[in-house]
A and B are shown apart, each in its own frame.
Chain A
C-alpha cells in the first residue's frame, strides 16, 4: 500500500504540463451533449461512402435479379394493395387511379420505414465492430440514410415511368408546381426516420424490448398514416388526430404534387416539421449520450 501511494504521488508531481494544443486528442469522461462531432463525421466521409457501397453491393450478391429487387418489392406491394384495398374493399382513392395512388404511398413510405428499421438497430447490429474499433458512431445511421436513398431513387424512377404511362393513356392526373417540394418532403421523411431510429437505437442498448416493438410498430404506423387511404375519407373529428402523425401531411402533399389529389394543408406540414425537428433533437442528444458508454451495457 505504501508503495502504491508513494508511486502515485511521484507520478503526479513529475507529469509535464504541456499546452492542450500540443495534443491531437484529449479523451475525457463527458463530451458536450450537443457536440455532434460533425467535423469528425466529415473526416470519415469515405467510410460513409464505403458503407453505402457495401450495403448496395453485398445485399444482392448471388441473387439473379440483383438490384431489380428494389423495384419488384414495391411493385408487388402496390399490386396487392390495388387488388385488396382498391378492388375488394373498394376504399376511396379520391379519384386518382388506384395503382398510382398506392404506388405513390408505398414508395415514400418504404423510404421512411426502411430508414427507421435499419437505423434503430445501429448499436445492436454493430456491436462486434463497435467493440473493436472507434469511428464516429453516427457514420452507420448516416450511411443507412444514403443507401436507402439509392433504393428510393430506383423506386421513384419507376413510379415516374408509371405516372408517364398513365398520363399518356389519358388519365386525369395533374402533377403540379408542388413537385418542386419533393426534396423537402424527402428530407423530412429522412429526418423523421433518422431521428426516431437513433432514439430507438440508443434505448435498445438497455431495453431490448424495443427491437420487437419496431417490427410491428412500423406496420401499425403504416395503417395510421394515409398510405392506403386518403386523409379526406376520415371522419371530420378524426382528422385532427390523424394530422398529428408527422407522416400524414408529407404523404398527402407528395400525392398532391404528383397526382393532384390529397391536401396541401401547410399548417399541418408546419406542425409536422416542428415535431420532426423535436424528435431529431432528442434523438441526437440520446445517441450522443449512449454512444460513449454503450459498450459497457450492451
Chain B
C-alpha cells in the first residue's frame, strides 16, 4: 500500500476580480459600517451567492477539489488555461491560502517554478547560492555541504566569485537551476515554466524529475505539452473549471483532454459568442471572429499540403495606452505547439492606439506543416510585457491533407517544409 504524501480535501479558492483600485476605501467603509450595524453588505449584488464558476468578475478558481498523491507518483496535471492548475500549485506551495478545505502534506515541497528567485545582481555567484538556497528552505549548513556539488553542476566554477550581474542570462539560469536541483525535496513541483528555457535546460529539468521520481519521491508536473506528460507521468489528473473531472491514468486524461478540448470546430470559422467572456476580464481588445481562408473565398477546414492559406482576425478595440499584438499558436494533435506568430513580428505600424475596428491577416506558406490535424489558439496581448488580454484556446481546427504531398512520409520532424535545393557539381 503506497503511503500518501499529499491529501487535498474539498479545496476551494475564490477570487474577486477587478475590485482593487478606485473607490475601494469608500466601499470598504460602507461595507464596514453595514457590518457593524448587522446589515448585509449593501454592495453585494442580489444573487451573489451563485457558485457558478464565474460571475461578474468573481471566480471560483478551484471548487471542491479532492486529490491524493502517493509516494512515487509522477502526477501530470492537465487542463486548459484558467482551469485552476496554477492556483492549485500556488496553494500547495503556500503562496496564497485556500478559501475552503485543506491540504495535508508530508515532507518538504520544492518547486522548479521559482528558479532564480531572490537572485541579487550585485552579489557574487557564491553569495547568491546561499541566499537562493535559504529562500528555498535550506539552511546555511546544508548549502555549505552541497556548495561544491552545486558549483560543479552549474559548470561556472571560475566565475563563482563574480557578481551575478556580469553573468550572461544562460549562466544565471544554470546557476539558479543548480541550486533548485540540489534542494532534495520529498515532493517536487514542476510548472511548464520550464518551457521558457533552452532545450538544454528543459532536458536538465526533465532529467531531474526522473531522478527524483526514481528515488521514490513524488512529482507534480503541470504542462500543456501532452507529449512530455505522457512520457514522464504515471498518473494523470484532468482539471476543468476548477474541479477535477478525471483522475486516472495519463493516457485516459490526455485522450479526454484532447477530445473535450477541441469541440471540433470543423467550419474553419470562429465567431465570438456573448457568453465567451472567459480569460482575464479585461477586454480592451476583443477578437470577434477568426477565419481560415484559402483562395476558395470561404472558410475551410481541410487544406492541401501544397496550398497557401490565411488566418484572418477581425477585432474591435478601445483606446489603449499600450502597444498590443494579436498572436496565434498552431498546436498539433499531441498538444505540441508547432509555432507561434505575433502580429507585431514584421512591423508595428498598424498597431493603432485609437479606438477602432480592424482586421489582421496572416499568410501561411504552402508545403510547411506535416499532414495531420491542428488546432489554433489565438488571442491578444499587451506589449512589451506580453501580458495576455484574452486567449481562445484551441478555438479553431484544421486539417492538412496529403494532396500535393510528394515526399516520403516516413521522415522525422514536427514540420515538413519543402525546401529548395541547388546542386553544384563539376564532372571530373
List chain A positions with a Cβ less than 8 A from chain B. 3-4, 7-8, 11-12, 15-16, 18, 20, 22-31, 44, 46-47, 49-51, 53-54, 57-58, 61-62, 128-135, 206-207, 292-293, 295-297
Chain B residues in 8 Å Cβ range of A3: 245-246
A124 → chain B closest CB, angstroms: 13
Closest to A51 in B: B131
Closest to A291 in B: B97
Out of B20, B90, B97, which one reaches A206, CB within 8 Å? B20
B265 → chain A closest CB, angstroms: 23
Chain B residues numbered 303-359 whose CB sits less than 8 Å from any CB in chain A: none
Closest to A29 in B: B98
Out of B105, B118, B131, which one reaches A25, CB within 8 Å? B105
Out of A50, A206, A295, which one reaches B131, CB within 8 Å? A50
Closest to A24 in B: B106
A22-B106, A296-B15 given; A29·B99 CB < 8 A: yes
Q: List 6 A-B contacts (CB under 8 A).
A: A16-B7, A16-B68, A29-B97, A133-B117, A134-B95, A135-B135
Out of B64, B66, B101, B135, which one reaches A47, CB within 8 Å? B135
Is B100 part of the binding interface, using a Cβ–Cβ cutoff of 8 Å? yes
Q: 13 other contacts beyond A26-B104, A27-B97, A54-B120, with CB at 8 A cut-off?
A: A8-B244, A16-B7, A18-B4, A23-B106, A25-B104, A27-B102, A27-B103, A29-B101, A54-B123, A129-B117, A135-B137, A206-B20, A293-B96
Is B243 part of the binding interface, using a Cβ–Cβ cutoff of 8 Å? yes
Contact yes or no, A133 B136, CB < 8 A: yes
Closest to B139 in A: A46
Sort A-B residue pairs by CB-CB distance and give the 9 closest, nearest first. Answer: A134-B94, A132-B114, A11-B66, A58-B122, A292-B97, A27-B103, A23-B104, A47-B134, A61-B122
Is B258 part of the binding interface, using a Cβ–Cβ cutoff of 8 Å? no
Is B402 part of the binding interface, using a Cβ–Cβ cutoff of 8 Å? no
Is B163 part of the binding interface, using a Cβ–Cβ cutoff of 8 Å? yes
Is B257 part of the binding interface, using a Cβ–Cβ cutoff of 8 Å? no
Annotate B225-249 by CB proximity to A: 1 below 8 A, 0 otherwise.
0000000000000000001111100
A26-B105, A50-B130, A57-B127 given; A7·B93 CB < 8 A: no
Is B39 part of the binding interface, using a Cβ–Cβ cutoff of 8 Å? no
* A-B interface pairs (CB < 8 A), number: 129
Is B156 part of the binding interface, using a Cβ–Cβ cutoff of 8 Å? no
Is B140 part of the binding interface, using a Cβ–Cβ cutoff of 8 Å? yes
Chain B residues in 8 Å Cβ range of A50: 130-131, 134, 140
Chain A residues in 8 Å Cβ range of B25: 207
Most buried by B among A20, A54, A295: A54
Contact yes or no, B131 A54, CB < 8 A: yes
Chain B residues in 8 Å Cβ range of A58: 120, 122-123
Chain B residues in 8 Å Cβ range of A7: 244-247
| Complex-state Cα separation, A132 to B118, whole angstroms | 10
Is B284 part of the binding interface, using a Cβ–Cβ cutoff of 8 Å? no
Contact yes or no, A295 B105, CB < 8 A: no
List chain B positions with a Cβ less than 8 A from chain A. 4, 7, 9-10, 15, 20, 24-25, 28, 64, 66-68, 90-108, 111, 113-114, 117-118, 120, 122-123, 127, 130-131, 134-137, 139-140, 163, 243-247
Chain B residues in 8 Å Cβ range of A130: 95
Main secondary structure of the interface of B (DSSP, over half): mixed
A95 → chain B closest CB, angstroms: 46
Chain A residues in 8 Å Cβ range of B111: 133
| Complex-state Cα separation, A280 to B286, whole angstroms | 49
| Complex-state Cα separation, A274 to B423, whole angstroms | 91
Closest to B143 in A: A46
Contact yes or no, A16 B4, CB < 8 A: yes
A29-B101, A46-B134, A54-B123 given; A134·B4 CB < 8 A: no
B60 → chain A closest CB, angstroms: 13
Closest to B241 in A: A4
Closest to B7 in A: A15
| Complex-state Cα separation, A261 to B107, whole angstroms | 59
Contact yes or no, B105 A27, CB < 8 A: yes
A23-B104, A129-B118, A132-B113 given; A293·B97 CB < 8 A: yes
| Complex-state Cα separation, A143 to B275, whole angstroms | 49
Contact yes or no, A57 B106, CB < 8 A: no
B197 → chain A closest CB, angstroms: 16
Closest to B113 in A: A132
Out of B66, B93, B130, which one reaches A134, CB within 8 Å? B93
Chain B residues in 8 Å Cβ range of A207: 24-25
Chain B residues in 8 Å Cβ range of A20: 104
Contact yes or no, B99 A132, CB < 8 A: no
Closest to B138 in A: A46
Chain A residues in 8 Å Cβ range of B9: 15
| Complex-state Cα separation, A50 to B133, whole angstroms | 10
A130 → chain B closest CB, angstroms: 7
Closest to A30 in B: B97
| Complex-state Cα separation, A146 to B346, whole angstroms | 52
A72 → chain B closest CB, angstroms: 20
Closest to A25 in B: B105
Contact yes or no, A132 B117, CB < 8 A: yes
Contact yes or no, B4 A27, CB < 8 A: no
Chain A residues in 8 Å Cβ range of B117: 128-129, 132-133
| Complex-state Cα separation, A26 to B310, whole angstroms | 53
A8-B64, A132-B95 given; A297·B134 CB < 8 A: no
| Complex-state Cα separation, A22 to B68, whole angstroms | 15
Contact yes or no, B100 A29, CB < 8 A: yes
Out of B68, B114, B118, B130, which one reaches A15, CB within 8 Å? B68
| Complex-state Cα separation, A234 to B125, whole angstroms | 55
Contact yes or no, B24 A206, CB < 8 A: yes
| Complex-state Cα separation, A228 to B97, whole angstroms | 47
| Complex-state Cα separation, A118 to B69, whole angstroms | 41
Contact yes or no, A133 B135, CB < 8 A: yes
Chain A residues in 8 Å Cβ range of B102: 26-29
A11 → chain B closest CB, angstroms: 4
| Complex-state Cα separation, A130 to B114, whole angstroms | 10
